[in-house]
Structure 1
């Protein structure tokens, strides 16, 4: 009997939600100009608005990951998608710095737990051989969702204004939640279209998400978890530049029009998605930790190179290659959550993503302060990213979640 392919429909839910999450998350960076003009916000204030999402997203990650491990992803994902869609729509009703900050903070709380719960969903619905490829594809789609957002927002702003554009994006999340609730089953055995052969294929995956050694606190206190969290914080610190300050950087430092910025902003996110795909497609004998180590080294070198050139075409290519390098590590990081967390996959993923999104608060806020107090010294912001990426490389000198160091075959003497 051939296995049915119901699991690929589950991957489809993950991919479409990843796109929606990033469309709704990235939209505000492209709308930062009209929002600032309408609400009278300076750079430091806009940095606070951009950072509000990362702060609340980080604070609510572990609680939402724990809920997913306890209550199941079907219930938790449905609730959080409806919640964040509501606050996406409400973004268009903001009338001041305070109201915008509160709305974006609550929007971040709504999105918290999305990717930890998607990681758990994939880990229980896919065999190991397909899991990292699905993670790679999901993160590629997040980047591509972010890549198409600037043109979409530009069209929306021109047609409806920035306020109604956020309402339109919110409706997409509601549609997703309706279909997910109707068709997704928590346990593959409960799905009427899954046959015995597919259940057999998923037997080890079900055992993995049921296995645990001690409580969730014991899992989170492992040194490997600390290193995993630290390196992902470092990549996220740099990545948030691409979805917060990069459009403003291109507009001000290189005098690019809004249409040109929207076009240029596509490339780094597109290549980031390509980096995720390539990482997931690497053959099993390639040590993932070495890939991650060299990716961070390349990221640091490329961000430094941006400070040394003045041609916008070269700059955008360097930024795109930096995004590509950094996103080589993304599927590796998320699959490491499964390898380490097992029964507490969503909790470990939530802890990793929590600190990553603290960087989503720190990076844009620190960037806004630097720009406001140094007369738009963009290079200083970039130098900080170089240093943070270097710390990420150091983490991968010691991080070995799957035991690859021990698993490497010994060399036979000549």
Structure 2
């Protein structure tokens, strides 16, 4: 098996762990509220704290991955968020819980920007969509199965005391779940450090030929001779690119902030995440208002999120195929714009759904369309990012997570004023804006103009 496939696989597993650690607190929120005697406002504040530090540190940690390598940044990130996850199990008050949630957002902030930088180094341009879909799929699978896994572990560990504290009045050992997840994460961090490398191995010391990647911000790879007509394995035999040091952070930040494409990219993710966050925050409330039994709610939510997983797999193949046929410009923007437009259509259907299962079908299609476009979003950042891929994806993710942080409050207030029909109208509008921004993206225009080599 080519080594780059293994690199993608372990990165996807890290993403799976990331989403389990991120999502599990929403499943355990009620037991935590009971045992720590939190008010409803305190519970909501603790849940929302994560998104603010997660958003704010996207660019800085992404820039660190560009400068010091994704292997180091991802290994440290996994270790840190695992320690913080375990610390959550030791929280004794609202202040302690709020603090560890802020730390979790900070420690997880660099995961996806660093992963994007790693994939850029190992994948050919025509593979990036598929590789991105596998990594993103890992996160979605973790989020889909976190409810069932977390609930099961909480019940199995009911009699186990953590730091001398057993399960409280809730009867759910949420402390043990957090500590167990944290320990597992430390093992994954060590494994990641031991087996992952920033670049593919160097070729054998024999005559080489140089082949450029055919995309913006291209790196140059020295390749060993290959038989006539054979396709060289760029991601497998490439030497680390020459002069790959990213510009200073201040220059990266100025370059990103002054680039029109980055603002279309960020606005796309901001609007997109307002709509997507509904699926992982308010969907159970929507089902509760539809008089769905609590046991069926989790099943429906898992099914909807699994539909997104299917979209993620298909999306990687779609964006690579369209890129080969239409080129980088439309190969990235067309899948993004189309999937966002389809998401808007599903929200319009939800506004007038005649029955529960009709609405559930529309929700599943919404999740499918949403995740169908995600590999193209990642690939765009890799195509234009050049030496600053981590910072470029971090810029979009930062604005996207501000949208996710805003979503529950915005849609919740809209629902209280105008009902779920008004909330879905907001989601549809956001998807339309995201589709327009997607059409404006041009993957042939790098964020930083390439400099001419000295004569």
Q: TM-score range by the shorter chain?
A: 0.7 to 0.9
TM-score by length of 2: 0.79
Q: Which moved more, 1:197-206 or 1:290-299?
A: 197-206
| Distance of 2:234 and 2:443 partners within structure 1 | 27
1:75 CA displacement? 1.4
Aligned to 2:111: 114
Aligned to 2:408: 364
TM-score by length of 1: 0.86
Aligned to 1:126: 123
Aligned to 1:243: 280
8 Å CA contact 2:24–2:147 kept in 1: the answer is yes
Q: Which of structures 1 and 2 has the larger relative contact order (alpha carbons within 8 angstroms, sep 6+)?
A: 1
| Distance of 2:89 and 2:239 partners within structure 1 | 42
Structure 2 residue aligned with 1:189, among 192, 201, 208?
201
Deviations 1:363-403 (A, max 9, x none): 134345556xx389444433322221121122123222237
Aligned to 1:135: 132
Structure 1 residue aligned with 2:20, among 18, 23, 35?
23
Aligned to 1:226: 263
8 Å CA contact 2:71–2:196 kept in 1: the answer is yes
Q: Which moved more, 1:63-72 or 1:298-307?
A: 298-307
Residues 1:165 and 2:177 aligned together:
yes
Aligned to 1:412: none
Q: Which moved more, 1:196-205 or 1:183-192?
A: 196-205
1:10 CA displacement? 0.9
Change (3 A) 1:258 1:148: same
Deviations 1:174-206 (A, max 9, x none): 1111111112222323799xx967875557794
DSSP-derived class of the 1:210 partner: coil
Tell me how large the CA RMSD over aligned residues is.
2.8
1:95 CA displacement? 3.7
Aligned to 2:425: 383
Change (3 A) 1:40 1:303: farther
1:36 CA displacement? 3.6
| Distance of 2:149 and 2:241 partners within structure 1 | 42
Structure 2 residue aligned with 1:295, among 300, 322, 339?
339
DSSP-derived class of the 1:119 partner: helix
| Distance of 1:47 and 1:167 partners within structure 2 | 22
Change (3 A) 1:313 1:169: farther
Change (3 A) 1:90 1:201: closer
Aligned to 1:285: 325
Aligned to 1:407: none
Q: Which moved more, 1:319-328 or 1:219-228?
A: 219-228
| Distance of 2:314 and 2:334 partners within structure 1 | 14
1:213 CA displacement? 8.8
Name the structure where helix makes up a greater proportion of residues.
1
1:42 CA displacement? 5.4
Structure 2 portions without partners, runs of 5+: 158-171, 205-222, 226-231, 446-455
Deviations 1:307-341 (A, max 9, x none): 32363322222111111111122111111111111
Equivalent runs, 1:15-414 vs 2, <5 Å: 15-41=12-38, 44-160=41-157, 161=172, 162-189=174-201, 201=235, 206-207=240-241, 210=244, 215-216=251-252, 217-250=254-287, 252-282=288-318, 283=321, 284-285=324-325, 287-309=331-353, 311-367=355-411, 374=416, 377-402=419-444
8 Å CA contact 2:86–2:179 kept in 1: the answer is yes
Aligned to 1:406: none
1:244 CA displacement? 2.1
Larger Rg: 2
Change (3 A) 1:184 1:204: closer
- Residues matched between the structures, number: 395
Structure 1 portions without partners, runs of 5+: 404-414
Change (3 A) 1:106 1:196: same
